[in-house]
Structure 1
Amino acid sequence: MNALRPVLSQVRIGLLTPWAYRASMLLSFLVLAIQIALYSVVWRAIYSGHDGPVAGADVQTAVGYAVLGLTIAGVLDTSPFWSIESRVRDGMIGVDLTRPIGLLTQNLAVQVGYVLAALPAAGVGLATGFVVGGLAPPQSTGAAVSFAVSVLLAFGVSQLITLLMALTSFWTLEVGGLNMAFFVVRSFMSGTVLPLWFMPGWLQTIAGVLPFQAATYTPLAVYFGRPPGGLAVALGVQAVWIVVLGGLCAWLWSRARHRVVVQGG
């Protein structure tokens, strides 16, 4: 328990920090609800000229996908990209390196806190989905359990991707442009904006070899009964990405720790 106390303290920091800006958090929930409502209107307008399903998905599936996709992204994609960058810039990274737990553990714990702080977004998203009438419940208990497992794996993939991007701060102090480009690629290739099954084959292939789809698209595909390659393969791919991304983070940190230059105070 004593070994866990420092980790839990970092989780608590991540949990409390976003809610120090309550107006911003509440506004983000409102924005999520508006996004879901708008996406449902757009998808229904797109399908209004079609009598049947498109790429194997009917209008109810498309709207439900938008509801669930935006909800998951609203919770899992809330971790700060700038945490390491700002601490390298102002010299506080030196303090981090003296703490009793490693830098990677510290940041992952803070990221977990941010995700916990954003959990009310799940309620907002699902409630909005109920109002717009776009999300049906899982087809069975087994489907619900499979979806829950996939979401947990997606959580691991998402946080490791965020940490990997944050570690680039040791090579360049200004990561704003890189993060903007990364956000655009992540949103598109993860399937949050558009289901991968609507993409042309060559683009699906590219998305399939990148880790982003394992952070959002896979749990959504599991929910709607379309796991890529089957359920076992889909969950296995997510687990493999956790191992690969974890290894990349550890390797990058082993290189980055030799580049630390404390600036400022």
Structure 2
Amino acid sequence: MARPVVRPGPRSRLRPVLSQVRIGMLTPWAYRTSVLLGYPAVAVQVALYSVVWRAIYAGHEGEVAGTDVRTAVGYAVLGLTIAGVLNTSPYHSIASRVREGLIGVDLTRPIGLLTQNLAFQTGAVVAALPTVAVGLGTGLVVGGLAPPRSAGAAGWFVVSLLLAFAVSQLTTMLMALASFWTMEVGGINMTFFVVRTFMSGAILPLWFMPDWLRTAAGALPFQASTYTPLSIYFGRPPGGLPAALGVQALWIVVLGGLCAWVWSRARHRVVVQGG
């Protein structure tokens, strides 16, 4: 008599994903000195940006590009905080796994490589949440952070922030997959970091950019990872709230599809090095 086929239940399928999330949470703390030193660095950045923006507005009365000094300083505080959390260091990046030959181990696990990476990065972002307390706390101390304009804006800000996390991680993953074609990705990462930081609006709000540069930034996914949630917080979502959230969701679909397609090509190029 043939034995019935036992299919894994939802809990069994979820267990390895949660395991990767846990590893992602614990791994940064293996470098706890670096993590702890990062907190005062965030505080200093927030304080300095607050000082600089106030100095910029010192010679102007009223608003610049429809933005007063309190909004500009608050944007800088939130921008640095969000970037510090969502753009976490890739301790478990695909590129490093390929270079060290550990990608072969990843391919034997019961969940796919992309799912592993996203789960790990989710844990890494959770581990970076104390940065939020440091950044926002410093912002409150220096008087540079105003509450959202309404409870609705706060709620939609959280929704947009979750979408921003997905956009940020999928964009980073897409760049990391390039390591299957070239194991030396230092130059690619540097270029990616510079473009992402500027075009995402983490440093400078898109509403301060000239029209041509704002149009270019709007055509790239980076703005959906930082500028969109910040603009919602301050009541200035690009194109209105439904359009802003819709663009984020669209980028998630596009980037997710691109990652799946690139991985379908990359998996045939795996060359395991090392022991």
1:138 aligned to 2:148? yes
Residue number in structure 1 paired with 2:87: 77
Report the TM-score when normalising by structure 1.
0.98
Describe how 1:32-47 pairs up with structure 2 within 5 A: 32-47=42-57
Where do 5+ consecutive residues of structure 2 fail to align? 1-10
Matched, 1:227 2:237: yes
Could you tell me whether the CA contact under 8 Å between 2:27 and 2:91 is conserved in 1? no
Asked if 1:150 is matched to 2:192, the reply is no
Residue in structure 1 matched with residue 210 of structure 2 by the alignment: 200
**Residue number in structure 1 paired with 2:96:** 86
Aligned residue number for residue 5 of structure 1: 15
Which shifted more, 22-31 or 210-219?
A: 22-31
Instruction: Spell out, residue by residue over 1:93-132, the C-alpha distance to the aligned partner (whole angstroms, 9 max, x if none).
Output: 1111111100000111111111010000011111000001
- Aligned partner of 2:4 in structure 1 is none
Structure 1 distance, partners of 2:99, 2:84, is: 28
Q: Distance in 1 between matches of 2:62 and 2:91?
A: 42
Counterpart-to-counterpart distance in 2, 1:85 and 1:142: 40
Is the 2:167–2:251 contact (alpha carbons within 8 Å) kept by the matching residues of 1? Answer: yes
Q: Are 1:173 and 2:183 matched, yes or no?
A: yes
Q: CA deviation at 1:81?
A: 7.3
Q: Hey, what's the Cα distance between the residues in 2 that align with 1:70 and 1:50? A: 24
Is 1:58 aligned to residue 68 of structure 2? Answer: yes
8 Å contact from structure 1 (residues 85, 173) kept in 2: yes
Change (3 A) 1:79 1:7: farther
Q: CA deviation at 1:84?
A: 1.2
* 1:186-237 superposed Cα distances (whole Å, 9 cap, x missing partner): 0000000100000000000000000000000000000001000000000000
Task: State the secondary structure of the residue aligned to 1:191.
Answer: coil
Paired AA for residue 74 in structure 1:
G
Contact 1:81-1:162 within 8 A present in 2 as well: no
Q: Where does residue 238 of structure 1 map in the other structure?
A: 248
For 1:44-99, what per-residue CA distance to the aligned partner results, in whole angstroms no more than 9, with x for missing partners? Answer: 00000001100000100000000000011111000417621121122211111111
Equivalents in 2 of 1:66, 1:27: separation in Å? Answer: 21
Q: Distance in 1 between matches of 2:75 and 2:91?
A: 26
Q: Among residues 100, 106, 114, which one is paired with 1:96 in the alignment?
A: 106
In the TM superposition, structure 1's runs of 4+ consecutive aligned residues that sit over 3 Å from their partners are none
- Candidates 241, 251, 263, aligned match of 2:261: 251
In the TM superposition, residue 264 of structure 1 has moved relative to its aligned partner by 1.2
Match of 1:27 in 2: 37
Distance in 2 of aligned mates of 1:82 and 1:189: 25
Identify the residue that residue 183 of structure 1 maps to in structure 2.
193
Mean Cα displacement is larger for which, 76-85 or 220-229? 76-85
Question: What letter corresponds to residue 71 of structure 2 in structure 1?
Answer: T
What CA RMSD, in Å, does the superposition of the two structures yield over aligned residues? 0.9
C-alpha distance in 2 between matches for 1:86 and 1:46:
41
Deviations 1:154-212 (A, max 9, x none): 01101111111111110110111110111010000000010000000000000000000
For residues 209 and 82 of structure 2, the distance between their equivalents in structure 1, rounded to whole angstroms, comes to: 20
Q: Greater CA radius of gyration, 1 or 2? A: 2
Structure 1 partner of 2:223: 213
Report the Cα distance in structure 2 between the residues aligned to 1:5 and 1:202, rounded to whole angstroms.
48
Query: Could you list the runs of 5+ residues in structure 1 that have no partner in the other structure?
Result: none
Q: Which amino acid aligns with 2:201?
A: G
Whether contact under 8 Å (2:39, 2:131) holds in the other structure is yes
Q: Which amino acid aligns with 1:199?
A: M
Instruction: Give the letter for the 1:97 counterpart.
Output: L
Partners of 2:24 and 2:121 within 8 A in 1: yes
Aligned length: 265
With over 3 angstroms needed to count, the CA separation of the structure-2 counterparts of 1:183 and 1:81, relative to structure 1, is farther
Q: Does 1:67 align with 2:77?
A: yes
Residue 171 of structure 2 corresponds to: 161
Give the share of equivalent positions with the same residue, in percent.
Answer: 77
